[in-house]
């Protein structure tokens, strides 16, 4: 255990964890497999709640595995959850920030205590490999603690301001950040822990009450998080957890005028739809949208070829390319194009693919039938446009993979640069690669998309400055073999996007994030001198 304690798991350190981490994961997985198939309720006002019907949560690794049965929440569920959060808000919002922060820190500690259980569920539910899954859980507690640290470092965001220069009066001015009220957290399937618990933790620490609605592919992970918040001692109604389809339950939550703010993480299409729907409310309310990416990596002729190839392959194919930060476009300067490409191909061919709960596999399945179908459609479309696949380009059905949604990691070249798939987020293990004559040409392509989430660059130190000065994205990495475009960690690389990738311009796990969940009140008191 000593080595595990001195090891800090992040997405950059996860490639070589201590042996004990594997043993604990395997023990938790064995236990979780005995708990599969059970029915789970929703948590509203501290009570277990059922809807009229349930839906099955099946594993994309093997669709015969029914992980659990979850509630098909409906419009009444949405109304009940928001009403519960509304009732709980006055007391929670008025509670001293020190008490709220202490409870949230306790929730973070519980997540850490349960990390192997949560990680095993993530692996089965999403199809993440074990270290990616454990990273997702570990990131959650670090995101929560980061929000708590920020509140603490800023004295609960209660600041005395200047005194007006009044003759005969004493003026005292305070700036106080206060919670908004009821906050909705709508989260995606691919980081079901960090992107549910992270924003929920920040909203709660800031004094809001929350309603959490996870993706229908990943209700179990979020249920485990909601239990951590509950078991940490958050009062009834402060954190509510509901499950059901986005188009019905999700829409009913968005349409409810009693919601004061929302954090949505998911696709651009749904995010923009939510933005427009939410705007129909009684007045403008804070809308934190974290959306897709089409993340480029530029490789200069001065790059370290090995570092570039490792970083690109990790970012293109980690979690089967289903990260908003995935490296989906690669621009390589001509003099080293063939060398970088050859190393990428060699490395990709060696990647283990199969049941991602097994230690040897780096890639698991894509999340569901729809993604599986889309993979084949994109491959066909690229094929027709003249692209060549140096790896992959096919679904995998050997042995046990026939029961899941496995797609081979695909490096595509010769896709015409005006093809729309250079600009569309595919969210699959597909990356398109081309050669360029100059870095300026590469930068032109890199920025010519509606997204601006992450980017990568490999080259000299002088070029690094030019790269940072010109790239249009929220999170940017230079010369990083741990991941060209992926693997941000709270406190190190706060995460968020520009343009169509994000609405707030402030990154999660960073200096300016928790403030998004509070509005400013100025308190001026005048006394006769």
Ligand X SMILES: N[C@@H](CCC=O)C(=O)O
CB 496 within 8 A of CB 506: yes
Closest to 432 measured CA to CA, from 408, 416, 455, 451: 416
Which tokens go with 493? 């690389």
Query: How many chain residues are in contact with ligand NAD, going by CB under 6 A?
Result: 34
**Least CB distance to ligand NAD at residue 202 (A):** 13
When asked if residue 146 is in the footprint of ligand NAD (CB under 6 A), the reply is no
Which residue in 125, 139, 227, 290 is the catalytic one?
Answer: 290
Q: Based on the shown chain and the rule CB under 6 A, indicate whether residue 228 belongs to the binding site for ligand NAD.
A: no
Q: Which does 187 bind (CB under 5 to 8 A by kind): ligand X, ligand NAD, none?
A: ligand NAD
User: How far is residue 44's CA from residue 63's CA, in Å, rounded to a whole number?
Assistant: 30
* Gap between the Cα atoms of 383 and 315, Å rounded: 23
Residue 446 structure tokens: 């890199």
Q: Which is nearer to ligand NAD, 353 or 453 (CB)?
A: 453
- Terminal-residue alpha carbon distance, the chain: 64
Site membership for ligand X, residue 323 (CB under 6 A): yes
For residues 103 and 233, the answer to whether their CB atoms sit within 8 Å is yes
Stretch that binds ligand X, among 154-162, 256-264, 318-326, 457-465 (CB under 6 A): 318-326
Find the part of the chain contacting ligand NAD (CB under 6 A) among 32-40, 207-215, 306-314, 352-360.
Answer: 207-215
Q: Which does 503 bind (CB under 5 to 8 A by kind): ligand NAD, ligand X, none?
A: none
- Secondary structure (3-state) at 260: coil
Using the rule CB under 6 A, is 191 a contact of ligand X? yes
* Residue 394 and residue 408 in contact, taking contact as beta carbons nearer than 8 Å: yes
Closer residue to ligand NAD in complex, CB, 252/518: 252
Supply the minimum distance, in Å, between the C-beta of residue 163 and ligand NAD.
42
184 near ligand NAD, judged by CB under 6 A: no
CB neighbours of 374 closer than 8 A, spacing ≥ 6?
A: 426, 428
**Quick check: is 290 catalytic?**
yes
- At residue 523, the 3 state secondary structure works out as strand
Query: For residues 94 and 353, what is the distance between their CA atoms, to the nearest angstrom?
Result: 51
- Among 523, 528, 527, which residue's Cα sits nearest to residue 160? 523
Task: Specify the stretch interacting with ligand NAD by CB under 6 A; choose among 52-60, 134-142, 214-222, 515-523.
Answer: 214-222
Taking CB under 6 A as the rule, does residue 288 contact ligand NAD? no
CA distance 58 to 288: 30
Cα–Cα distances in angstroms (integers) from residue 258 to residues 142, 182, 196, 518, in the given order? 30, 7, 21, 17
Shortest CA distance to 347 belongs to which of 301, 307, 376? 307
Residues of this chain, 366-425, that bind ligand NAD according to CB under 6 A: 425
Is 324 an interacting residue with respect to ligand X (CB under 6 A)? yes
Site string for ligand NAD, 313-352 (x = CB under 6 A): -----------x----------------------------
**How many residues contact ligand X, by CB under 6 A?**
10
Q: Does 190 bind ligand NAD (CB under 6 A)?
A: yes
Measured from the CB atom, is 325 or 432 closer to ligand X? 325
Please state, in angstroms and rounded to a whole number, the distance separating the CA atoms of residues 78 and 84.
Answer: 10
> Which residues sit at the interface with ligand NAD, rule CB under 6 A?
186-191, 195, 213-216, 246-247, 250-251, 254, 265-267, 270, 273-274, 290-293, 324, 425, 427, 453, 495, 497, 501-502
> Which residues sit at the interface with ligand X, rule CB under 6 A?
11, 190-191, 323-325, 486-488, 495
* Residues with a known catalytic role: 290
């Amino acid at each position: 255990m000593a080595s595990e304690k001195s090891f800090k798991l992040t997405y950059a350190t996860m490639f070589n964890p201590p042996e004990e981490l594997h043993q604990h994961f395997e023990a938790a997985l064995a236990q979780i497999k005995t708990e599969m198939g059970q029915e789970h309720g929703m948590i509203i006002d501290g009570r277990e709640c059922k809807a009229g019907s349930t839906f099955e949560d099946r594993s994309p690794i093997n669709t015969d595995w029914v992980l659990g049965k979850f509630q098909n929440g409906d419009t009444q569920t949405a109304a009940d959850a928001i009403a519960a959060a509304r009732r709980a808000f006055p007391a929670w919002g008025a509670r001293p920030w020190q008490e709220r922060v202490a409870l949230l820190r306790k929730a973070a500690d519980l997540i850490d205590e349960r990390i192997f259980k949560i990680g095993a569920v993530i692996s089965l539910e999403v199809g993440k490999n074990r270290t990616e899954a454990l990273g997702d859980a570990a990131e959650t507690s670090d995101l929560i603690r980061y929000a708590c640290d920020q509140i603490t470092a800023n004295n609960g965001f209660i600041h005395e301001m200047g005194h007006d220069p009044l003759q005969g009066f004493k003026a005292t001015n305070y700036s106080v950040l206060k919670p908004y009220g009821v906050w909705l957290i709508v989260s995606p399937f691919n980081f079901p822990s960090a992107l549910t618990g992270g924003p929920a933790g920040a909203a709660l620490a800031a004094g809001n009450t929350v309603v959490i609605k996870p993706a229908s592919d990943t209700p179990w992970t979020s249920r485990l998080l909601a239990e951590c918040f509950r078991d940490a001692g958050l009062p009834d109604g402060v954190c509510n957890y509901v499950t059901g389809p986005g188009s019905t339950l999700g829409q009913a939550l968005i349409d409810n005028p009693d919601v004061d703010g929302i954090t949505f993480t998911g696709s651009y299409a749904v995010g923009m739809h939510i933005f427009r729907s939410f705007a129909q409310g009684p007045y403008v309310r804070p809308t934190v949208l974290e959306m897709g990416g089409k993340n480029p990596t530029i490789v200069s002729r001065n790059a370290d070829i090995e570092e570039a190839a490792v970083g690109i392959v990790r970012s293109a194919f980690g979690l089967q390319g289903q990260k908003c930060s995935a490296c989906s476009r690669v621009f390589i300067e001509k003099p080293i194009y063939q060398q970088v490409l050859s190393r990428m191909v060699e490395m990709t061919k060696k990647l283990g693919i199969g049941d991602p709960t097994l230690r040897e596999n780096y890639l698991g399945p894509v999340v569901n039938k729809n993604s599986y179908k889309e993979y084949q459609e994109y491959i066909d479309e690229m094929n027709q446009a003249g692209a060549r696949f140096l790896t992959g380009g096919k679904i995998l059905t050997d042995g046990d993979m026939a029961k899941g949604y496995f797609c081979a990691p695909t490096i595509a070249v010769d896709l015409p640069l005006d093809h729309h798939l250079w600009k569309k987020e595919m969210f699959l293990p597909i990356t398109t690669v081309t050669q360029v004559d100059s870095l300026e040409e590469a930068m032109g392509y890199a920025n010519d998309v509606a997204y601006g989430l992450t980017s990568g660059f490999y080259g000299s130190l002088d070029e690094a400055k030019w790269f940072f000065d010109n790239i249009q994205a929220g999170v940017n990495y230079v010369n990083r073999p741990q991941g060209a475009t992926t693997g941000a960690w709270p406190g190190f690389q706060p995460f968020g996007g520009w343009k169509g990738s994000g609405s707030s311009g402030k990154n999660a796990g960073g200096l300016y994030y928790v403030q998004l969940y509070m509005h400013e009140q100025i308190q001026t008191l005048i006394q006769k001198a």
